[in-house]
Amino acid sequence: MTRDLEHPRQTLSYAATGVNIDAADSVKAHIRKSMISTLDHRTLGIGSFGSLFHLQGYEDPVLVSSCDGVGTKLKIAALLGHDRTVGFDIVNHCINDILCSGAMPLFFLDYIAMARLNATQITQIVSGLSDACTQNGVALIGGETAEMPGIYVEGIYDLVGFIVGVVERRSILDGTRIVQGDVLLGLPSSGLHTNGYSLARRVFQIDQEPSNLSHHYAELNGTLGGALLEPHRPYHQILQPHLSHIKGLAHITGGGFAGNVPRILPAGVAAAIDKSSWAVPPIFQLIRDKGAIQEAEMYRVFNMGIGMVLVASPEHATELAQAIPDAYTIGSIIRRDKGDQLVWV
């Protein structure tokens, strides 16, 4: 008789490795309930291997898609147990990205991954996703929940969003109409949005001392954690009525102004931006002072209080500034023979 027959091997299961299929099925049932509240007549089916969406009412539609993540803001949310806010972050961030092409959002999918499925965390995340989609008229049409022990640290998760929107071909914003003399308008951000958190965490030593998130700052009129978790602001609802008068839109995300404004500019022009044209919010001033960060680095990493930059002709810029009360005139389009496509004045 062989050794294997004398001493049978202990059987293994997927659950023993840290992946619990039964728990995942239970969580997915709760997710489905949240998703249903975001759907309308255009959604023909969810829950199969693919979700169905009926595109209607367009003459020459162009689909616009985008994918992004929340980044290390997730760690702050997890430390504070405020996981609902990041659902708003990822939906609103993705909406703003496709808005830069003139597209309105249709449907959204999410990807949530963690070491071990935490029903409380997932419920909060999906609640935020669902409410953000409902507020913005977007169908939460599908997603994926992954349990990955050995890849993720217990308690920390990743959240990624995928969005599809639509724009009539004739209405696509691509920046090609931008010319010298056009005006730059800025729309205020609601804080850091979803960029610069690795630097912010280092400045406030959050990884070493999470309790720093509970520190109250008079200039913030609240706690550090509250300021850092302020959700990303969406802009499509206030801009949709005015898109025909806008030549270009730049979402100020990773890379700040220099990394995003030039992306919409045609050859031969540059954006001249006046830093003194808006008040930098206190959270950015606090990060700068606390971390002794140079001004150029601050504007390269953070949005510094401007979440979206609009380009319009002078006459339309005046109309936009009147129609959108919190819009700032922050600069203009100038001729560029050589050098950078963004200059500070």
pLDDT band at 32 (very low <50, low <70, confident <90, very high): low
Q: Measured between alpha carbons, how far is 129 from 135 in angstroms, rounded to an integer?
A: 10
Average pLDDT in the 162-175 region? 97
**pLDDT for 81 beyond 70:** yes
Question: How crowded is residue 252: how many other Cβ atoms within 10 Å of its Cβ?
Answer: 25
The three-class DSSP label of residue 274 is: coil
Residue 131 has pLDDT above 50, yes or no: yes
pLDDT mean over 258-274: 97
Whether 26 shows a pLDDT value over 90: the answer reads no
pLDDT of residue 2: 47
Residue 17's pLDDT is what?
A: 59
Structure tokens at 21: 């299929």
Is residue 36's pLDDT more than 80?
Answer: no
Cα distance between residue 248 and residue 101, in whole Å: 8
Contact 166, 282 (CB under 8 A): no
What percentage of the chain has pLDDT greater than the value 70? Answer: 88
Q: Which of 160, 141, 161 is nearest to 31 (CA)?
A: 141
At 52, the pLDDT band (50, 70, 90 cuts) reads confident
pTM for this entry: 0.90
3-state SS, residue 339: coil
Q: Which domains, and CATH codes, for the chain?
A: 15-171 (3.30.1330.10), 183-344 (3.90.650.10)
Q: Residue 44's pLDDT band (boundaries 50, 70, 90)? A: confident
At residue 53, the pLDDT reads 85
pLDDT of residue 38: 74
> What is the pLDDT, as a whole number, of residue 37?
66
Ramachandran class of 340: left when φ > 0, alpha when ψ lies in -120 to 50, beta otherwise: beta
Q: Whose CA is closest to 301, among 65, 67, 96, 71?
A: 71
pLDDT in tens, 270-306: 999 999 999 999 999 999 999 999 999 999 999 999 9
pLDDT classification of 49: cutoffs 50, 70, 90: confident
Average pLDDT, the chain: 91
Buried-exposed string 189-205: b where 16+ CB fall within 10 A, e elsewhere:
bebbbbbbbebbbebbe
- Taking residues 237-256, what's their average pLDDT? 97
pLDDT of residue 10: 60
Nearest-angstrom CA–CA distance, 24 and 116: 10
Whole-angstrom Cα distance, residue 139 to residue 162? 12
- Supply 95's token pair: 């909406």
- The residue assigned the tokens 């449907």 is 107
Rounded average pLDDT over 70-94: 97
Quick one: which H or E segment has residue 273? Answer: strand 269-273
